[in-house]
Structure 1
Amino acid sequence: MPSPMFYVGSAMVAVIGIAAYLPRHKYIDKHYRNLQGYRRTFADVAYPGPGSSGRCTFSGAHNFTAVIRTKTLLEGIDVVPNFGMDKCQHVAGPSFCDDVRIQRSLNIGFLACDPSFPYRNYAASIFDESKIKEDGALWVYDLNKRGSPAEKLTIKGFKGPFHPSGVSFAPTSEDGTPARVVVLVVNHVPNEIPRVEVLYYYPARKSLVYKKTISSEYFHAANKIAASGAASHLNDDTPAFFVTNDHGYNLTNWKREYEEKYNLPASSVVFYHPRADRAQEVGWRFQMPGAIVPANPPNSYWLALGKGGTLERYHSHMVSAEHQEQTVLSADTREPITVSWPGMMMEETIHTAKVNVGMDYDAATKGFYTVSHPRWNDYLQHAKEKFEDKDGKPSVKAGFVISKGTEYTVQQGQVRPKPLKDVEFDPSEFPRRYRKKLFVEEVVSHDGSEFGAPSAIANTGDRVLVSSHYDHGFLDCDLS
């Protein structure tokens, strides 16, 4: 008869095998990705063409350690402190909002809200088509009139279900005071692959007009979106954009259960090129990316990893023209063009030890803010109870933490440097011995008794908006 140690060893081998197999299986079986090592990157080799080796090395023990670390991260701190809420105003209006963005040249906030959200919280693996009855909408909030109610917009010319998630704007409309703003919205149509709706917003008459729909098989778990200035459609100004898939597998795939159970890094990031009219996965092996926003310098992006507990900055490089450039027939001029797919490499990591669900960066003022869940498992319980009774009061609170990014001097060569706040340095020593690094510090913390279950954050300078998945209204904070 086998000894008890035999069964224990067999169980350990099974867990490690599943953890190693699932995220690897999706890509390697297609011979479509060239992943080198366990470390997640936007592109070790972006857009590999025919004949790619598709080789991958993977450490099961490393991933098993990550599973244990992630479990502790999701449990969070024992007690969520309360401070900083006096700087925030609770604005009544839309409920069940999945994203908030600020169009800075207009000083207007856009919120993506949906009364059916409690029945389609894909990030929490909650979905029941039979309960999805009402469509969602976009709301606008004038930051020049603090505390004024947000206004609900209707979309002229749009037909079909509308369940908005991520929102973004064409970068070209950020300069000056635009007469028209190109708005991109991720639309979660029940039992279909999410799509991206291209809308025109006319500020003078507060009108929203439907332009077109963009679909792709790679949007299988689309969540947040970030427009890019890399290219734009010559006829309708649709910009290039990045989309995050919060999971590697959709809800109907049996592997989703194991991805959730073991917190596997199987999510991806997708880039859409408007002139080619096609999308392509350019990043893999992420743990529930919850936000993606433009960074500084240009062609850089911040990515918030929920279950990874990190904020990571990537910059686009031309790693291999052979693999990143492609000749296609353009969708606007119908002539052959050469398009370039991003070759994103990670250049900075901030370890937050929190489940990050939202972030934003204002390049003009260098304002950097994040919002996170201090106790993710409480949020999941909150979501499950709201699924059963949307208007009921959950038994647990889902608090939130707002953190602000500040640059401090650190010593070169340190793997995880600590900020040196009270030391004077000789400028001639930069960058030989010292450098500047971004750190995040908590500025608002709340246990969820008044407001919680955060979904996203947006800022213009130190003016911050925070949306919520389950609370009515949103927060307008002045954190200067």
Structure 2
Amino acid sequence: MPSTSLLVLSALTALVGVAVYLPMQRTTTLLEGPSVVENFGMERCKRVSGPAYCDDVRIQRNLNLGFLACDPSLPHRNFAASVFDEAKMTEDGALWVYDLNKPGSPAEKLTIKGFEGPFHPSGISFAPTSEDGTPARVVVLVVNHVPLEVPRVEVLYYYPARKSLVYKKTISSEHFFAANKIAASASPMVHQHDDTPSFHVVNDHGYNLTDWKREYEEKYNLPAASLVYYNARADIAQEVGWRFQMPTGVASSHEPDSLWIAQAKGGTVDLYKSHILSAEHQEQKVLSADTRERLTIAWPGMMNEEIMHTKAVNVGVDYEPEFKTLVTVSHPKWNDYVQVAKEKLQDREAVPSKKAGFVVSKGNLYPVRVGETRPKPRKDAVFDPEETPRKYRYQLFVEPVISNDGSEFGSPSAIAVSGQRVLVSSHYEQGFLDCDISP
């Protein structure tokens, strides 16, 4: 008869096996996607020509201008998909601007005055501004992902009257090792002389592409990525969030120091908010980089406030506080997208054997019972969260509004929202989409 210790060991081995197998199986199912991708809602969209191979799109809402980070070399350096060939990197990228106030107008390519060096833009963000109407100057943050180097953040000034970009400075940190998307913070920690805001960046992987550990992270879809916060007055960056599963979208939420993060291989969209958990460990006395004065700064204590299990590979997320609009763009079939990336790496102009479609989803609030996750209430129940908040609550669900199998547009990289309009950029398409998501 087996000994008690042997039985216990066998039981523990079985539990560990199940604990490892189930998450891997869920991720495998997620990346394979549905057998058929539905086509609906494309009549809401128009394709805007001009920019191609774009990694990010953001909207500066004071101006209602869309900015796109595009790069002809993107098919040869898809870091999120771990597809890369430095020998084919022969062209620099650029930022493009699109005026949402003038429907049908083309996007315009911008040059950067005073900037020297390679430019391969990924994420974009803007310093928050309280100016009414048209700000005279917008501070633009761009993740510059130079091959085989640690990415850095370029600080640029955009002057709307002249439609010009001017280089201000470069921010570097060892913590930006796999930086992808960026979100400026509304924190008062703003550089006093050049208006550079504090910001968050997501590392889409836990290891740089040149690190041998990256292969195992990809093979087993390990949750190894991180969130980094940069304090503009201290000129210091630190990791403040860990164990993310390929986060490729980040956007500021409705509260200060709160973020929506899209975890592509996790199949979730998560809301994180900063809390002071321990002043002893979060506060630090530094000499400010701008005024050279003694300063006490507080590092964010990011805690998960909400998890939405979208069961989709979300690669882009955006949130508009004025209308409380949350939008996502996802790959219905991630594995097909990776196949497209591999084939495009060999020949950028080739027609791939697979189609990489996209799905745009919009957040909607529904009343649900506390402890339940039903998207709609039962017909025989009266749900009133405002009167009985202990029993009922409003919960956010993302629901598809536009879907395409890739026959008309595919390979999404990011999404931006302004009012009832969204812009969708693509890694491998010519142009981008301008879509109406109104009810």
TM value normalised by structure 2: 0.94
Q: 1:143 to 1:428 in 2, by over 3 A?
A: closer
Q: Answer yes or no: is 1:420 the counterpart of 2:420.
A: no
Q: 2:165 aligns with which of 198, 208, 211?
A: 208
In structure 2, C-alpha distance between the alignment counterparts of 1:459 and 1:371, rounded to whole Å:
11
Partner of 1:383: 341
Q: CA deviation at 1:129?
A: 1.1
- Secondary structure of 1:210's counterpart equals strand
In structure 2, C-alpha distance between the alignment counterparts of 1:195 and 1:307, rounded to whole Å:
25
Q: 1:452 to 1:425 in 2, by over 3 A?
A: same
In structure 1, C-alpha distance between the alignment counterparts of 2:131 and 2:149, rounded to whole Å:
32
Partner of 1:315: 273
In structure 1, C-alpha distance between the alignment counterparts of 2:183 and 2:417, rounded to whole Å:
15
- Asked whether the 8 Å contact 1:173–1:181 carries over to 2, the reply is no
- Asked whether the 8 Å contact 2:336–2:355 carries over to 1, the reply is yes
Q: CA deviation at 1:147?
A: 2.2
In structure 2, C-alpha distance between the alignment counterparts of 1:131 and 1:395, rounded to whole Å:
22
Structural mapping, 1:71-220, within 5 Å: 71-172=28-129, 175-220=132-177
Letter in 2 for 1:242: H
Q: 1:432 to 1:71 in 2, by over 3 A?
A: same
Q: 1:475 to 1:212 in 2, by over 3 A?
A: same
Q: 2:407 aligns with which of 439, 445, 449?
A: 449
Letter in 1 for 2:395: K
Q: What does the per-residue CA deviation read over 1:167-226, in whole Å, with 9 as the maximum and x for residues that have no partner?
A: 000012675320000000000112110000000000001010000000000000000000
Q: CA deviation at 1:229?
A: 1.3
Percent of paired sites with the same residue: 68
Q: CA deviation at 1:107?
A: 0.5
Partner of 1:24: none
Partner of 1:438: 396
In structure 2, C-alpha distance between the alignment counterparts of 1:298 and 1:417, rounded to whole Å:
29
Q: Answer yes or no: is 1:243 the counterpart of 2:201.
A: yes
Q: 1:111 to 1:173 in 2, by over 3 A?
A: farther
- Secondary structure of 1:147's counterpart equals coil
Partner of 2:351: 393
Q: CA deviation at 1:420?
A: 1.8
- Secondary structure of 1:257's counterpart equals helix
Q: What does the per-residue CA deviation read over 1:323-365, in whole Å, with 9 as the maximum and x for residues that have no partner?
A: 1000011000111101110011111111110000001110001
Q: Answer yes or no: is 1:350 the counterpart of 2:308.
A: yes
Q: What does the per-residue CA deviation read over 1:414-460, in whole Å, with 9 as the maximum and x for residues that have no partner?
A: 3x343328564356643021111111111001000110000000001
- Secondary structure of 1:191's counterpart equals coil
Q: Answer yes or no: is 1:465 the counterpart of 2:426.
A: no
Superposition RMSD in Å: 1.8
Q: Answer yes or no: is 1:298 the counterpart of 2:239.
A: no
- Secondary structure of 1:382's counterpart equals helix
Q: What does the per-residue CA deviation read over 1:30-76, in whole Å, with 9 as the maximum and x for residues that have no partner?
A: xxxxxxxxxxxxxxxxxxxxxxxxxxxxx785344212210110000
In structure 2, C-alpha distance between the alignment counterparts of 1:478 and 1:319, rounded to whole Å:
42
Structural mapping, 1:27-66, within 5 Å: 62-66=19-23
In structure 1, C-alpha distance between the alignment counterparts of 2:117 and 2:211, rounded to whole Å:
25
- Asked whether the 8 Å contact 1:350–1:439 carries over to 2, the reply is yes
What is the aligned length? 426
- Asked whether the 8 Å contact 1:301–1:313 carries over to 2, the reply is yes
Q: 2:215 aligns with which of 251, 257, 277?
A: 257
Partner of 1:36: none
Q: CA deviation at 1:254?
A: 1.0
- Asked whether the 8 Å contact 1:232–1:274 carries over to 2, the reply is yes
Partner of 2:6: none
TM value normalised by structure 1: 0.86
- Asked whether the 8 Å contact 1:98–1:467 carries over to 2, the reply is yes
- Secondary structure of 1:448's counterpart equals coil
Q: 1:476 to 1:206 in 2, by over 3 A?
A: same
In structure 1, C-alpha distance between the alignment counterparts of 2:388 and 2:217, rounded to whole Å:
44
In structure 2, C-alpha distance between the alignment counterparts of 1:216 and 1:297, rounded to whole Å:
27
What 5-or-longer segments of structure 2 have no aligned partner?
1-8
- Secondary structure of 1:72's counterpart equals helix
